[in-house]
Each structure stands twice: as C-alpha cells, then as structure tokens.
Amino acid sequence: MSFAGAVKTFGSVRAVDGIDLELARGETVALLGRNGAGKSTAISLLLGLNEPDEGVVRLFGAAPEEAVRAGRVGAMLQDGRPVPRVTVGELVGFVARTYPAPMPVTEALELAGIAELAGRRVDKLSGGQTQRVRFAVALIGNPALIVLDEPTAALDVEARYAFWESMRAYARRGHTVLFSTHYLEEADANADRIVVIDRGRIVADGSGEQLRRSAGGNLVAFDLAGRSTEGLTLLPGVVSVEIRGDRARLRTEDSDATVIALAGMGAIRGLEVAPASLDDAFMALTSGSSGSSSTSSVLERV
C-alpha cells in the first residue's frame, strides 16, 4: 500500500503535492493536518475516488479501485446520511451481498459494538450509534485495510471512547488501519505511527514520542511581566519562542541550560518546565503555514 510521488491539483491548488508514503500490513496509522492540509484528498486517491495527476497510488499491488471492488479495502468517509426505513441488520446485510467474501453480519455488528441494535431503524439512532453502523458497513467486506476519515467528528466523549474500543478490536486481528483526525490525543492513543501533512506535503512521519522529541524536548514557560523578547531565541538550547499574551513559551533541547540562563536574566516569574506535548510538535511542524495573530507569534531561530 503506497503513494509514490502522488500529486493532485484542483485549479491552482496542489491539494496533494508529491506524497511518498508506504503502509505496512498490521499498522495503525494516523493522518494529522490542519483543515485543507490535504488529508481527505490523499484518502480519496487511496480509495480510487480521484486519480493522481502525477505519481502512482497502489493497493495490494493493484490500482485502488480494483482492491476496493475485491473487498480488500473498507472505508468510512465524512459524508453520509442514515438510510430511512431500514434496520441496522438489513442495511449491513445488503452491503455484505455486494462483496465476494464478506464477514458474517453478526460478526461485523459485534465487532462494531452494535449487535443489540440489529433490529433498530438506522434513521432512529443517535449520532454515536450511526457512526458505529457506518463502521460496521466499512467492516462487512472483511477488508485487510480500513480507511477512516475523521471517524469521531461531532461525537461526544463517551461515543468516541466506544468507537475506538471497536476500532482497536479490529486492529488486533492484524488488519491495517489508516485514519485522519483533528484530535491529537486520538492519534497519540490509537496509532502506531503518525503522519503529519501540511499544504499537501508530508512534514513528519513517526511515533507520537518521536514527534514530541521533534518539538524540542521540553517546554519552558514564564511570565514576561513587560520584559522584551529580544534575545530569547539565542538562549542555550532554545529551538523556538512562542509569545502568548504576556507569557513566553520556549521549546528547548536543554531545559536546564535554558532555565539557568533565564535565572541570570532575572526572568523566572511564573516559571514552568514540562515535556513537549504532541500539540507542541504539531504546532511546530505546521506553524509555517498558519500565519500570525494578534495574540500569538512564533520566532524561529535561523
């Protein structure tokens, strides 16, 4: 399963700009990126819904549409409406009959955590229940790869937790999972590997811990109390400086040296030292496209 130099343009916009990516069997991979970063377009290329303008996308050694027709790929996309006047069991059973070697309907419902809803009408379910029905529909072809585009968008905390329990049960069978999400904690908790896309390009690829290390190791924060920010980027260990109101946040590779230098400047009011988070890493990796705001700026050391 791979992208090789994949490019997709819409007018003057290069939504996917030369992506190279391989997915190994049994991996759970998260796609992270801002709105418009290219995540959904990359997924549409993987599923054969769009064709690349340049480069190649292959699934199981074949074109994506061939793998989808063979039932080797299941997908749960953002768009979709409940089907009126049919039960959960009827809907999933109908979809099962379109595949050459489907999973038993009862097994798909059980895996999605909705066995007790088999006789309920789909259009009478809650948002969380509907999402899990869509998950069962994605599973019913018994795919080796499942692709989830923002699967927990608009779900409450309880429904999100239940959904990921179901997804992990599927992944434990040795299947490959690719999902996009805006929730960094979901990526960190459920993915073996995180791929960050920004402006159509892959800017990071690794585990959550590797991405956190890329953010500069630790975060040192303190109150400016009217003090100038001049010279902060030159402090020992500092990778970048972010100003939020009257508070400075320094990403640093050597927090001890940074704190000692700040103490020498008398700048230790409201001092806080903490490990870099995945949020810090994500902001550092994508800040180049975010522009500036009135309340926050990023000063990168050149």
How much is the CA Rg of the chain, to the nearest whole Å?
Answer: 23
Q: How does residue 290 score in pLDDT terms, banded at 50, 70 and 90?
A: very low
pTM: 0.79
pLDDT of residue 238: 92
What CATH number does the domain located at 2-206 have?
A: 3.40.50.300
pLDDT of residue 38: 93
Among the listed residues 190, 153, 163, 140, the one whose alpha carbon sits nearest the alpha carbon of residue 40: 153
pLDDT of residue 288: 56
pLDDT of residue 212: 80
Using the predicted structure, report yes or no on whether residue 292 has a pLDDT greater than 70: no
The mean predicted confidence, pLDDT, of the chain is: 88
**Cα–Cα distance list, 72 to 35, 41, 65, 94, 172 (Å):** 29, 20, 10, 18, 17
Using the predicted structure, report yes or no on whether residue 217 has a pLDDT greater than 90: no
Task: Write the pLDDT tens digit of every residue in 38-88.
Answer: 999 999 999 999 999 999 999 999 999 999 888 899 999 877 777 889 999
State the average pLDDT over residues 152-168: 86
Q: Write a three-state SS string for the chain.
A: CEEEEEEEEECCEEEEEEEEEECCCCCEEEEECCCCCCHHHHHHHHCCCCCCCEEEEEECCECHHHHHHCCCEEEECCCCCCCCCCEHHHHHHHHHCCCCCCCCHHHHHHHCCCHHHCCCEHHHCCHHHHHHHHHHHHHCCCCCEEEEECCCCCCCHHHHHHHHHHHHHHHCCCCEEEEECCCHHHHHHHCCEEEEEECCEEEEEECHHHHHHHCCCEEEEEECCCCCCCCHHHCCCEEEEEEECCEEEEEECCHHHHHHHHHHHCCCCCCEEEECCHHHHHHHHHHHHCCCCCCEEEEECC
Q: How does residue 301 score in pLDDT terms, banded at 50, 70 and 90?
A: very low
State the average pLDDT over residues 129-158: 90
- Strand arrangement, sheet containing 2-10: 13-22, 2-10, 54-58
pLDDT of residue 228: 87
Percent of the chain with pLDDT strictly greater than 90: 62
Cα separation of the two ends of the chain: 37
pLDDT of residue 157: 87
Domain residue ranges in the chain: 2-206, 214-300
State the average pLDDT over residues 174-186: 90
Q: Using CB atoms within 10 A of its CB, is residue 182 exposed (0-12), middle (13-18) or buried (19+)? A: middle
Place of tokens 């020498």: 264
pLDDT of residue 30: 96
Domain 214-300 has CATH 3.30.70: yes
What are φ and ψ of residue 9, in 5° steps? -115, 150
pLDDT of residue 216: 60
